């Protein structure tokens, strides 16, 4: 839509409030609102001011003034507000230089798309994430100088099999057996369906929804693939929708990668392909998994740079409680057709040229999609540019390999510190085309080190009392 069309759309739908939204560096949607009378065509060029020093990963207090530039193509009605509200997703701009802000994640993703086109390799990169999540009935946590606790609960949780629920109607989902029982075991069918219908209401196409493997309400809703920036926009809206639909039902959604011990974590398998002139560049009939040389080199770059990529795509300390052997965790840096224990899987559901794609399985939904998708694509493009050959594909259960064969398979980082170390040492591929800048890399590493790794490292873990209290 043009700015003029957005204003007409708002008027036709009785909009009273305009909500300006943007993404902070870690990946959380931020917003503030104004009355509809302030929405004029020149606002889409001049923008609206905000305090950048209060946003994580943005400005220092002496350089706090920043500007939001609304993107008219993102205009949609908020399906949850009581007062009719128009949502506009924005980019961030510096009011002094009038340049787009280097740490704005959406701008980084836009630069990645521009770099792809300028490279001549492809016109379009398609991304299709499968963001899993848990739906809980209760979540509590606390930490102070002398105590710590967390507790999650779900009516489906197998630990509630013996709870007096007056009456307990059973049908609790056993650990690792949530894929795909019908109701009444799957108690969340209608809730997920309401999420799907709301997603469609805001213009997001949905392919499928289902219960996931984990007990206690693990779920997945797959939305249709889209171009890089548009898919990141969709995924942020997706999170907003499923959280708010759950909240309306008296439940909560978490995209935390590993909220439950000894059961499956929540991943975000990311399907991706490159196209040029309407042709899928990843398809070549008669090869292994019908992959083209370009697709194989893309995989080579993705696997070579995976440790650094995962600093953005599996960016929390909790991410690496999921990336452990078992639980279908994709920790092995190889590729394979059909094999879900590989970091890169080639889906084989269809022989269609249009359906050919790769699936990168190590990311999780705690990531900022603008940064994660951009980092994945930049790694793949580096593989194409340098014709990086991936390791030989393995079509066996990677957890049952002979010790000699297993020793040859490299793995994802063991923790966030290793991922950040890899990013610190290996980020030249991200700097091409000025997509990521050194400032962004340094800010990301410092933020994660100080606010997450050090914050966890300094606090005693409850299990340490079981191990060490009697030393």
Q: What DSSP state is assigned to residue 133? A: E
Name the nearest CA neighbour of 36 among 71, 65, 6. 6
Residue 165: both structure tokens together: 């629920």
Candidates 220, 222, 290, 382; catalytic one? 220
Terminal alpha carbon distance of the chain: 67
Q: What DSSP state is assigned to residue 432? A: G
Candidates 78, 130, 233, 263; catalytic one? 130
Residue with tokens 């790694």: 379
Name the nearest CA neighbour of 57 among 111, 103, 101. 103
Angle at 316 between CA 313 and CA 318, to 5 degrees: 120
Question: Does the bond joining 184 to the residue before it have cis omega, within 30 degrees of 0?
Answer: yes
Tell me if 353 sits within 8 A of 284, measured CB to CB: no
With b for 16 or more beta-carbon neighbours within 10 A and e for fewer, the 57-79 pattern comes to: bbbeeeeeebbbbbbbebbbbbb
Candidates 41, 46, 51, 205; catalytic one? 51
Q: How far apart are CA 176 and CA 86, in angstroms?
A: 41
340 labelled catalytic: yes
Residue 457: both structure tokens together: 């490292």
Candidates 177, 194, 210, 340; catalytic one? 340
192 labelled catalytic: no
328 labelled catalytic: no
Residue with tokens 């022989």: 351
Partnered with residue 120 across adjacent β-strands are: none
269 labelled catalytic: yes
Candidates 103, 106, 361, 427; catalytic one? 361
Candidates 113, 186, 212, 233; catalytic one? 212
> Which residues have CB under 8 Å from 92's CB, separation 6+?
22, 52, 58, 66, 67, 68, 69, 100, 101, 103, 104, 106, 107
Cα dihedral sign, 84-86-92-98: negative
Q: What DSSP state is assigned to residue 224? A: P
Q: How far apart are CA 93 and CA 102, in angstroms?
A: 9
Tell me if 217 sits within 8 A of 154, measured CB to CB: yes
207 labelled catalytic: no
Question: Helical H runs in 42-127?
Answer: 43-46, 105-119
Candidates 211, 269, 296, 427; catalytic one? 269
452 labelled catalytic: no
Name the nearest CA neighbour of 370 among 110, 58, 147, 85. 110
Other CB atoms within 10 A of residue 400 CB: 8
359 labelled catalytic: yes
Question: Hey, which residues are catalytic here?
Answer: 51, 130, 132, 212, 220, 269, 340, 359, 361
């Amino acid at each position: 839509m043009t700015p003029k069309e957005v204003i007409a759309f708002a008027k036709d739908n009785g909009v009273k409030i305009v909500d300006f939204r943007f993404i902070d560096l870690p990946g959380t949607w931020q917003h503030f609102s104004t009355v509809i009378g302030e929405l004029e065509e020149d606002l889409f060029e001049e923008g609206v001011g905000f305090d950048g020093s209060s946003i994580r990963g943005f400005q220092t207090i002496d350089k706090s003034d920043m500007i939001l530039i609304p993107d008219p193509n993102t205009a949609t009605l908020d399906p949850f507000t009581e007062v009719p509200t128009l949502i506009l997703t924005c980019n961030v701009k510096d009011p002094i230089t009038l340049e787009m802000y280097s740490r704005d994640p959406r701008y980084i993703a836009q630069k990645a798309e521009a770099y792809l086109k300028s490279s001549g390799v492809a016109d379009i990169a398609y991304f299709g994430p499968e963001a899993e999540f848990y739906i809980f009935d209760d979540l509590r946590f606390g930490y102070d100088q002398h105590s710590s606790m967390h507790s999650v609960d779900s009516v489906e949780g197998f630990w509630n099999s013996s709870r007096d629920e007056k009456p307990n109607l059973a049908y609790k989902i056993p650990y690792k057996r949530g894929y795909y029982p019908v109701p009444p075991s799957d108690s969340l069918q209608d809730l997920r369906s309401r999420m799907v219908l709301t997603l469609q209401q805001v213009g997001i196409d949905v392919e499928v929804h289902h219960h996931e493997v984990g007990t206690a309400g693990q779920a997945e809703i797959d939305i249709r693939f889209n171009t890089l920036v548009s898919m990141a926009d969709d995924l942020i809206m997706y999170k907003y929708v499923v959280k708010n639909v759950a909240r309306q039902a008296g439940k909560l959604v978490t995209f935390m990668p590993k909220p439950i011990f000894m059961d499956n974590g929540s991943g975000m398998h990311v399907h991706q392909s490159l196209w040029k002139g309407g042709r899928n560049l990843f398809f070549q009939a008669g090869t292994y998994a019908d992959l083209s040389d370009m697709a194989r080199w893309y995989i080579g770059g993705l696997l070579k740079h995976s440790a650094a990529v995962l600093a953005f795509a599996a960016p929390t300390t909790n991410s690496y409680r999921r990336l452990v052997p078992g639980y279908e965790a994709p920790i092995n840096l190889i590729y394979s057709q059909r094999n879900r224990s590989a970091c890169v899987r080639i889906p084989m559901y269809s022989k269609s040229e249009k359906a050919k794609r790769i699936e990168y399985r190590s990311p999780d939904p705690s990531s900022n999609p603008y940064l994660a998708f951009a980092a994945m694509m930049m790694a793949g493009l580096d593989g194409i540019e340098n014709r990086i050959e991936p390791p030989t594909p393995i079509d066996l259960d990677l957890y049952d390999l002979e010790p000699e064969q297993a020793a040859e398979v490299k793995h994802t980082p063991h923790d966030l510190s290793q991922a950040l170390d890899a990013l610190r040492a290996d980020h030249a591929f991200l700097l091409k085309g000025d997509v990521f800048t050194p400032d962004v890399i340094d800010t990301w590493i410092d933020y994660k080190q100080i606010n997450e790794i050090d914050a966890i490292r300094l606090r005693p873990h409850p299990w340490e009392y079981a191990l060490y209290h009697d030393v």
